[in-house]
Amino acid sequence: MPIPGLPEDRVAWVPQEPTRGLHPFLTVEEHLVLLPKVRLGERRQSSRARLLPLLERLCLPRERSFLRRFPHQISGGQRQRLVLAMALSWDPAFLILDEPTTALDPLARWELFALLEERNREQGLGYLWISHDLEMLSKATDRLLVIYGGLLVEAGPTQRVLKAPRSPYTLRLLGASRGEASLDSGYLQAPEQRQPGCPFRPRCSDGLPCCGQGVGWQGTLADGFRCWNPISRKS
Ligand code: SF4
């Protein structure tokens, strides 16, 4: 879907499963120089020289022996970082990051965060970060959108959403991230099995009879929620 005001050819995507972005018969180096050649018309040697520091920033080796390896010869974390390096290799204006830190160790996670923050500050790079990693999101984002069952249930400035959630689902998510157990955890039904109304209803301990009806958005587009019985009413 087009992003208003942003040309589609300036957007890069980092898939959750890195093998979806890698070709089994291309080496690390061939992956790295591919998009600069297609997008920028850059020569292979120039791309390699320009991008070796980026590999280091992403905690990847820059030795020739590593550059000659194929995707199946490097670790899962290295594959994820290689896909990130490819996404950044041609200086896009906007990144869509789908769970980009799942295979990364803590050092590499924070290095990625520092790199994105630096590109944001110096080059205006924007990004949409799809993740359950609330600790990272709390530092890396200005705004949060909380989605459950394909439905946007809360949106707002990151710190407001984390400190004063309005949706019971957001509250549950925050509790789970702190390791708080939930006795009525349940699961999200398949779309064809869901009852009308709020998709969180079978798991929500605060539901009302009206939750079986369609739930409208409350508040503004920039800061709002979708719930018949939001947190503030109960306190
Ligand atoms: S609309 Fe009802 S069921 Fe859904 S989260 Fe709010 S209180 Fe719970």
Whether residue 173 has its Cβ less than 6 Å from ligand 1: no
Whether residue 206 has its Cβ less than 6 Å from ligand 1: yes
Amino acid identity, residue 132? H
Question: In CATH, which of 3.40.50.300, 3.40.190.10, 3.30.56.10, 3.40.50.150 is domain 8-135?
Answer: 3.40.50.300
Amino acid identity, residue 48? R
Residue nearest ligand 1's atom 6 by CA = 227
Task: Write the DSSP assignment of 62-123 as a string of letters.
Answer: -SHHHHT--GGGS-HHHHHHHHHHHHHTT--SEEEEESTTTT--HHHHHHHHHHHHHHHHHH
Distance 178 CA to ligand 1 centre (A): 22
Residue 99: CB atoms within 10 A of its CB come to 16
For the chain, what is the radius of gyration of the CA atoms?
21
The domain spans of the chain are: 8-135, 143-234
Q: What is the pLDDT of residues 186-220, one digit of tens each?
A: 677 788 888 888 999 988 988 999 999 988 899 99
Amino acid identity, residue 37? K
When the pLDDT of each residue in the chain is averaged and rounded to a whole number, the result is 90
- Residue 235 confidence (pLDDT) above 50: no
Whether residue 198 has its Cβ less than 6 Å from ligand 1: yes
Q: Are 188 and 149 in contact (CB under 8 A)?
A: yes
Distance 44 CA to ligand 1 centre (A): 55
| CA distances in angstroms from 104 to 11, 92, 189, 218, listed in the order given | 23, 22, 30, 37
Whether residue 229 has its Cβ less than 6 Å from ligand 1: yes
Whether residue 169 has its Cβ less than 6 Å from ligand 1: yes
Whether residue 223 has its Cβ less than 6 Å from ligand 1: no
Amino acid identity, residue 200? F
Q: What is the pLDDT of residues 160-191, one digit of tens each?
A: 999 999 999 999 999 888 887 665 666 777 88
- Residue 101 confidence (pLDDT) above 50: yes
Q: What is the pLDDT of residues 22-79, one digit of tens each?
A: 999 999 999 999 999 999 999 999 999 999 999 998 989 999 999 999 999 999 989 9
Helix/strand/coil for 209: helix
Ligand 1: atom nearest CA of 229 is 7
Closest CA to 78 of 91, 94, 89, 67: 67
Pairwise CA distance, residues 94 & 3, whole Å: 10
Pairwise CA distance, residues 79 & 72, whole Å: 9
